[in-house]
Structure 1
């Protein structure tokens, strides 16, 4: 089982946006934190099924590696960090 770090930020309208430091340009959102996490997991599953390769699933970095990345450090300010499970083997078998 693989875990991707997700950054969850509360938007001005009270909803929550989610981005993945290891998957640039991939974002989703939800009305609540729980919904945002669910949407994030669904987005990862969709990315695995993406046959045209539009979404590149880079291998996830460890928290230590991310903390050494100044872009991540800046992006994570005022963010909730969540680990989103992604079972690449199960998704690949479907």
Structure 2
């Protein structure tokens, strides 16, 4: 099982936006924190099943640990004021 980090931020309209640092183009949202987490799980499962890298390979990105992400200045800036959640992904499902 892989564990991906999701970053959840509440926008000014009250929507909880979810992004994945290891899947830069993957975003989803929910009307509550719980809904955003559910959407993150469903979106990751859906996208990972059909994932294709720019070079044509289908290997999923290797998930970075929270420690690795904390050393990424871009992530640290984006995470300020957000909620960090671990999302499990099991390719065997």
TM-score, normalising length from structure 2? 0.86
Structure 1 unaligned residues grouped into runs of 5+: none
Separation in structure 1 between the aligned mates of residue 44 and residue 35 of structure 2, nearest angstrom? 14
Q: Which structure: greater strand fraction? A: 2
- The count of corresponding residues between Structure 1 and Structure 2 is 89
Counterparts of residues 30-69 of structure 1 (less than 5 Å):
30-50=30-50, 53=52, 57-69=60-72
Structure 2 unaligned residues grouped into runs of 5+: none
CA RMSD of aligned residues (A): 1.8
Counterparts of residues 1-94 of structure 1 (less than 5 Å):
1-50=1-50, 53=52, 57-90=60-93
Q: Which runs of 4+ in 1 moved over 4 A?
A: none
